[in-house]
Amino acid sequence: MTASIAVASSRIDTTAATRQSGEPFVISSNSGESASVWVGVSSTVSGVLRVSVVDANFDSVVAVYTDSANTLASLTKVAADDDWASRGTASTSSCVKVYVSAGAVYAIQVSGFGTSKGLATLSLSRST
């Protein structure tokens, strides 16, 4: 049996966000992602972390990176998603599940597909 335990949930806004020089693309440079919001997470336990972008009024994409030195150059992508809820049809939600290690630092990138920007809820939960 898998149980989901809420860790955090926060409303995010990408409307004023921009791209930094050297910032990775969640999906690919062909997707034209124009703006990102970043959230840092330190894991206190090992296990599966679910990162969801829901209730978005724009076409969201999400990625999770390991972050060894708190720089763009030190990021290693471990998971990314676009259109999680419907696979093949229009969706504004994105979701990934990643294994996290206790004491490790992760960077979460929320962006819009193409030039999409707006409001969404970023939700983090773990499975036990």
At 38-96, the pLDDT tens digits run: 998 888 889 999 999 988 899 889 999 998 888 888 899 999 988 765 555 557 788 89
Ramachandran category for residue 114: left, alpha or beta (phi over 0 → left; psi -120 to 50 → alpha): left
Among residues 18, 125, 123, which one has the least CA distance to residue 62? 123
Ramachandran category for residue 50: left, alpha or beta (phi over 0 → left; psi -120 to 50 → alpha): beta
pTM of the model: 0.86
Tell me the pLDDT band of 4, cut-offs 50, 70 and 90: very low
CATH of the domain at 73: 2.60.120.1050
What amino acid is encoded at 66 in this protein?
T
pLDDT value at residue 84: 64
Domain with 98, as residue range(s), is: 4-127
pLDDT value at residue 123: 92
Instruction: Assess whether pLDDT exceeds 60 at residue 1.
Output: no
Strand stretches in the chain, DSSP E: 4-13, 36-42, 47-54, 60-67, 75-82, 94-100, 105-112, 119-127
Domains in the chain, number: 1
